[in-house]
Chain A
Amino acid sequence: MTVTRNRTDSARPDARPSADDRTLVDACLDGSRDAFNIIVERHQRQVYQLCYRFAGNHEDASDLAQDVFIRAYRGLHSFKGHAAFSTWLYRIAVNVCLNRVGGRSQKWTTLDAADQPDLREERADAKILRGERAAAVRAAIARLPKKQRAALILRVYHDLPHDEIAAIVGTSVGAVKANFFHALANLKKLLSPKD
């Protein structure tokens, strides 16, 4: 018994989960929706975390992350492969977050207790203090100017190198470091107790 293959399937780029991003993008452009599903599963965590840092709550972060992938899908043809796909995706995410979140005050919420790390050993007062400090930090970050906020979030919470941050936000490494410095200095001012 011979197995006849569809000629188009054999000609399509590989859309396996082990394929690299460039190959998956080519498969998407060739018509494979499964390839983009793999891209989503591969990058959804980083995109969601970035959106959460900007939005401050789970619902908005989820909506933002969904929007990021929709925009990425529509603009796949513009990915030239000069930079890493993650850099390109981060750029879309930062733009979506800064445009949507902008100067709006964020609703900072915590997730359900089941989603929190197990801290039964921690004293109650320490837990409260930690929570309050975290909320204060997030509120202060939300008040930073856009470029400073982006530089701080990408550096501190995503541990991206400065040159990649520069590629994401479209500036120089020096400008990224300057924005990062100002972000930290402004955070200090915002978190300092008022006399």
Chain B
Amino acid sequence: MKHLSRAEFVDLIESSPVLPPERARHVEHCERCRERAETIRSVRSMASADGMPEPSPLFWDHFSARVAEQLRSEPAPAPSPRWSPVPYATWAVAGVVIVLLISTVVWRTTLHAPSPATPAQLSAAVDVVSVDPVDDLDNDEAWAVVRAATADLAWEDAHDAGISAHPGDVENAALQLNSAERIELERLLDEDMKRNGA
């Protein structure tokens, strides 16, 4: 049979009715539990023998007066905010309605949201971004408009209009080229230099 637990020891020394009789009889056969029970029983008796020193009767009158004096400077305790005596069922219904409203708003928002781009649309956008502007210049409509507008424009007239090169314009333009444009510019310059015997 297993030894008494700590709670059972306490029930035993206090003669608590919650301890089953067969457990209480365990100490009759177990020396270890019997000694242990006797030890804590004697300590409990020793502790309880320490009586409580009683203060003077005047102490109690003075004590309550001191507490009352100190409470005069305290604000009056405010009652806790009372919720309206609404039954729980009403709160539950209100909660369900709120959840339904939120769900409806979310559903409608996602219903009218723009549909995500299809893979074909995505690849077309990528194609537009990745088009090499140098290679496609001849077919570029915007450039065609510029060419048509400037076909009859004399250099002197362009200069007078302020559409002319200024010192540093070539360098500035070269610095603003992207890497593909720079590579193409180098190729064109090499071809030109080879053609001129450089």
List B residues 29-54 near A (Cβ within 8 Å).
Answer: 39-40, 43-44, 46-54
Cα distance, A62 to B63, chains bound together (Å): 8
Which of A2-10, A72-80, A92-100, A120-128 makes up part of the contact surface? Answer: A72-80
Q: Which residues of A contact B67 (CB under 8 A)?
A: 37, 40, 44, 66, 69-70
Which of A14-22, A82-90, A130-138 makes up part of the contact surface? Answer: A130-138
Q: Which of B7, B53, B55 contacts A181 (CB 8 A)?
A: B7
Q: Which residues of A contact B48 (CB under 8 A)?
A: 156-157
Q: Which of A33, A74, A114, A152 contacts B68 (CB 8 A)?
A: A33
Known: A74-B74, A115-B55, A115-B56. A134 touches B80 (CB 8 A): no
Interface mask (B64-76 → A, CB under 8 Å = 1, otherwise 0): 1011101110101
Cα distance, A37 to B67, chains bound together (Å): 8
Q: Which of A115, A152, A181 contacts B47 (CB 8 A)?
A: A152
Interface range on chain B (Cβ under 8 Å from partner): 35 or more
Whether the pair B80, A77 counts as a contact (CB closer than 8 A) is: yes
Known: A177-B6, A177-B7. A70 touches B71 (CB 8 A): yes
Q: Which residues of B contact A116 (CB under 8 A)?
A: 53
Q: Which of B47, B55, B74 contacts A156 (CB 8 A)?
A: B47
List A residues 17-69 near B (Cβ within 8 Å).
Answer: 28-31, 33, 36-37, 40-41, 44-45, 48-49, 52, 58, 62, 65-66, 69
- A110 in contact (CB, < 8 A): yes
Whether the pair B43, A187 counts as a contact (CB closer than 8 A) is: yes
Whether the pair B71, A36 counts as a contact (CB closer than 8 A) is: yes
Whether the pair B71, A191 counts as a contact (CB closer than 8 A) is: no
| Minimum C-beta distance from A177 to chain B (A) | 4
- B27 in contact (CB, < 8 A): no
Cα distance, A180 to B72, chains bound together (Å): 40
Cα distance, A185 to B80, chains bound together (Å): 44
Whether the pair B80, A31 counts as a contact (CB closer than 8 A) is: no
Q: Which residues of B contact A29 (CB under 8 A)?
A: 77-79
Q: Which residues of A contact B39 (CB under 8 A)?
A: 184-185, 188
Whether the pair B70, A70 counts as a contact (CB closer than 8 A) is: yes
Whether the pair B53, A40 counts as a contact (CB closer than 8 A) is: no
Chain B residue nearest in CB terms to A65: B63
Q: Which of B7, B50, B77 contacts A28 (CB 8 A)?
A: B77
- A178 in contact (CB, < 8 A): yes
Whether the pair B51, A117 counts as a contact (CB closer than 8 A) is: yes
- A174 in contact (CB, < 8 A): yes
- B10 in contact (CB, < 8 A): yes
- A141 in contact (CB, < 8 A): yes
Cα distance, A137 to B78, chains bound together (Å): 43
Q: Which of A40, A75, A134, A177 contacts B64 (CB 8 A)?
A: A40
The 4 A-B residue pairs with the shortest CB-CB distance in the complex, in nearest-first order: A181-B6, A177-B7, A184-B40, A76-B77
